[in-house]
A and B are shown apart, each in its own frame.
Chain A
Amino acid sequence: MTTNRSIRRVPPWRGLVLAVALAGAALAGSGALAAGKASTADHGKFKELQQSFASGPEVTKACLICHTEAAKQVHSTKHWSWEFLNPATDQKLGKKNVINNFCISVPSNYPFCTSCHVGYGWKDANFDFTAEENVDCLVCHDTTGSYRKLPGLAGHPPYQDTEIPPGSGKFAKAVDLTKVAQKVGRTSRDTCGACHFFGGGGDGVKHGDMDSSLAAPDRELDVHMDATGLDFTCGTCHRTSSHDVPGSRYTPVARDTEGAHIPGRQDDSLPATCPACHGQAPHKGGGHAAKLNDHTDVVACQTCHIPQIARGGVATKMSWDWSTAGQMGPDGKPMLKKDEAGRVIYDSKKGDFVLGENVVPEYRWFNGEVTYTLLGDKVDKSEGVTRINRLGGSAEDGKSLIWPMKVFVGVQPYDPVNRTLVTPHTAGNDDTAYWKNFGWEKAIKTGMQVSGSAFSGQVDFVRTEMSWPITHMVAPKENAVRCGECHMKGGRLENIGGVYIPGRDANPLIDLFGWLMAGGALLGALVHGGLRIVRRNG
Chain B
Amino acid sequence: MERIYIFKRFERFWHWSQALLIILMMVTGFEIHGTYTLLGYGDASELHTSAAWALIALWVFAIFWHFTTGEWRQYIPTTENLVAMLRYYMSGIFTHAAHPFRLTQLRKHNPLQRLAYLGVKLMINPLIWLSGLAYLYYNEINAVGFGLELGVVALVHTIGAFLMLAFLVVHVYVITTGHTWSSHLKAMITGWEEIEDPQQGAKS
Among the stretches B2-10, B124-132, B168-176, B185-193, the one at the interface with A is: B168-176
Q: Are A522 and B169 in contact (CB under 8 A)?
A: yes
Q: Are A483 and B42 in contact (CB under 8 A)?
A: yes
The verdict on A378 contacting chain B, using a C-beta distance below 8 Å, is: no
Query: Total interface residues on A, using CB and 8 Å?
Result: 38
- When distances are taken between beta carbons in the complex, the residues of chain B under 8 Å from A520 are 166
> With A294-B138, A484-B40, A510-B158 in contact, is A518–B149 under 8 Å at CB?
no
Minimal beta-carbon separation of A507 from chain B (angstroms): 6
> With A288-B46, A294-B139, A535-B94 in contact, is A503–B33 under 8 Å at CB?
yes
Q: Are A506 and B159 in contact (CB under 8 A)?
A: no
Q: Find residues 32-65 in chain B having any chain A CB closer than 8 Å to their own CB.
A: 32-34, 37, 40-42, 45-46, 49-50
Q: How far is the CA of A522 from the CA of B167 in the complex (A)?
A: 10
Q: How far is the CA of A504 from the CA of B34 in the complex (A)?
A: 6
> With A297-B139, A518-B162, A528-B173 in contact, is A510–B41 under 8 Å at CB?
no
The verdict on B95 contacting chain A, using a C-beta distance below 8 Å, is: yes
Contact of B154 among A484, A500, A524, A532 (CB under 8 A): A500
Q: How far is the CA of A91 from the CA of B159 in the complex (A)?
A: 51
* A510-538 near B? 1/0 per residue, CB < 8 Å: 11011101101110110011011001100
Q: Are B46 and A503 in contact (CB under 8 A)?
A: no
The verdict on B19 contacting chain A, using a C-beta distance below 8 Å, is: no
The verdict on B123 contacting chain A, using a C-beta distance below 8 Å, is: no
Q: How far is the CA of A531 from the CA of B93 in the complex (A)?
A: 10
- When distances are taken between beta carbons in the complex, the residues of chain A under 8 Å from B40 are 482-484
Is chain A's interface secondary structure helix, strand, loop, or mixed overall? helix
> With A483-B40, A532-B93 in contact, is A506–B33 under 8 Å at CB?
yes
- When distances are taken between beta carbons in the complex, the residues of chain A under 8 Å from B158 are 506-507, 510-511, 514
* B82-95 near A? 1/0 per residue, CB < 8 Å: 00000001000111
Q: How far is the CA of A518 from the CA of B159 in the complex (A)?
A: 11
- When distances are taken between beta carbons in the complex, the residues of chain A under 8 Å from B155 are 507, 510
> With A483-B45, A484-B42, A535-B95 in contact, is A502–B162 under 8 Å at CB?
no
> With A510-B159, A535-B95 in contact, is A521–B37 under 8 Å at CB?
no
The verdict on A489 contacting chain B, using a C-beta distance below 8 Å, is: yes
Q: Are B42 and A482 in contact (CB under 8 A)?
A: yes
Q: How far is the CA of A507 from the CA of B161 in the complex (A)?
A: 13
Contact of B32 among A288, A502, A511 (CB under 8 A): A502
The verdict on A25 contacting chain B, using a C-beta distance below 8 Å, is: no
Q: How far is the CA of A291 from the CA of B136 in the complex (A)?
A: 8
- When distances are taken between beta carbons in the complex, the residues of chain A under 8 Å from B159 are 510, 514
Q: Are A503 and B41 in contact (CB under 8 A)?
A: yes
Q: How far is the CA of A239 from the CA of B34 in the complex (A)?
A: 44
The residue on B at minimum CB distance from A489 is: B34
Q: Are A502 and B169 in contact (CB under 8 A)?
A: no
Minimal beta-carbon separation of A100 from chain B (angstroms): 38
Minimal beta-carbon separation of B26 from chain A (angstroms): 10
The verdict on B70 contacting chain A, using a C-beta distance below 8 Å, is: no
The verdict on A488 contacting chain B, using a C-beta distance below 8 Å, is: yes
- When distances are taken between beta carbons in the complex, the residues of chain A under 8 Å from B136 are 291
The verdict on B20 contacting chain A, using a C-beta distance below 8 Å, is: no
The verdict on A505 contacting chain B, using a C-beta distance below 8 Å, is: yes
Q: Are A521 and B94 in contact (CB under 8 A)?
A: no
Q: How far is the CA of A505 from the CA of B33 in the complex (A)?
A: 8
- When distances are taken between beta carbons in the complex, the residues of chain B under 8 Å from A488 are 34, 37, 41
The verdict on B105 contacting chain A, using a C-beta distance below 8 Å, is: no
The verdict on A287 contacting chain B, using a C-beta distance below 8 Å, is: yes
The verdict on A487 contacting chain B, using a C-beta distance below 8 Å, is: yes
The residue on A at minimum CB distance from B46 is: A288
Q: Find residues 182-204 in chain B having any chain A CB closer than 8 Å to their own CB.
A: 204
> With A502-B154, A503-B41, A506-B33 in contact, is A513–B173 under 8 Å at CB?
no
The verdict on B147 contacting chain A, using a C-beta distance below 8 Å, is: no
Q: Are B165 and A518 in contact (CB under 8 A)?
A: yes
- When distances are taken between beta carbons in the complex, the residues of chain B under 8 Å from A297 are 139
The residue on A at minimum CB distance from B135 is: A502
- When distances are taken between beta carbons in the complex, the residues of chain B under 8 Å from A515 are 162
Minimal beta-carbon separation of B18 from chain A (angstroms): 19
- When distances are taken between beta carbons in the complex, the residues of chain A under 8 Å from B145 are none
Q: Are A521 and B170 in contact (CB under 8 A)?
A: yes
Q: Are B32 and A484 in contact (CB under 8 A)?
A: no
- When distances are taken between beta carbons in the complex, the residues of chain A under 8 Å from B176 are 529
Minimal beta-carbon separation of A479 from chain B (angstroms): 14
Minimal beta-carbon separation of B137 from chain A (angstroms): 9
Q: How far is the CA of A327 from the CA of B82 in the complex (A)?
A: 89
- When distances are taken between beta carbons in the complex, the residues of chain B under 8 Å from A483 are 40-42, 45
Q: Are B162 and A517 in contact (CB under 8 A)?
A: yes
Q: How far is the CA of A506 from the CA of B32 in the complex (A)?
A: 10
Minimal beta-carbon separation of B201 from chain A (angstroms): 16
Q: How far is the CA of A488 from the CA of B37 in the complex (A)?
A: 9
Q: Are B169 and A525 in contact (CB under 8 A)?
A: yes
The residue on B at minimum CB distance from A504 is: B34
Q: Are A532 and B37 in contact (CB under 8 A)?
A: no
Q: Are B173 and A510 in contact (CB under 8 A)?
A: no
Minimal beta-carbon separation of B85 from chain A (angstroms): 14
Q: How far is the CA of A294 from the CA of B93 in the complex (A)?
A: 53
- When distances are taken between beta carbons in the complex, the residues of chain A under 8 Å from B89 are 528
Minimal beta-carbon separation of A386 from chain B (angstroms): 35
> With A488-B37, A503-B34, A504-B34 in contact, is A532–B162 under 8 Å at CB?
no
Q: Are B33 and A502 in contact (CB under 8 A)?
A: yes
- When distances are taken between beta carbons in the complex, the residues of chain A under 8 Å from B41 are 482-484, 487-488, 503
> With A294-B138, A488-B37, A535-B94 in contact, is A514–B150 under 8 Å at CB?
no
- When distances are taken between beta carbons in the complex, the residues of chain B under 8 Å from A536 are 96, 204
Minimal beta-carbon separation of A285 from chain B (angstroms): 13
* A144-182 near B? 1/0 per residue, CB < 8 Å: 000000000000000000000000000000000000000
Known contacts A294-B138, A503-B34; 12 additional CB pairs below 8 A are: A287-B46, A294-B139, A483-B41, A484-B37, A484-B41, A487-B45, A503-B33, A510-B162, A525-B172, A529-B176, A532-B93, A535-B94
Write 6 A-B pairs (CB below 8 A) sorted by A numbering. A297-B139, A483-B45, A506-B158, A513-B162, A518-B162, A531-B94
Closest 5 CB pairs of A and B: A514-B162, A483-B42, A525-B173, A484-B41, A500-B151
* Residues of chain A at the chain B interface (Cβ within 8 Å): 287-288, 291, 293-294, 297, 482-484, 487-489, 499-500, 502-507, 510-511, 513-515, 517-518, 520-522, 524-525, 528-529, 531-532, 535-536
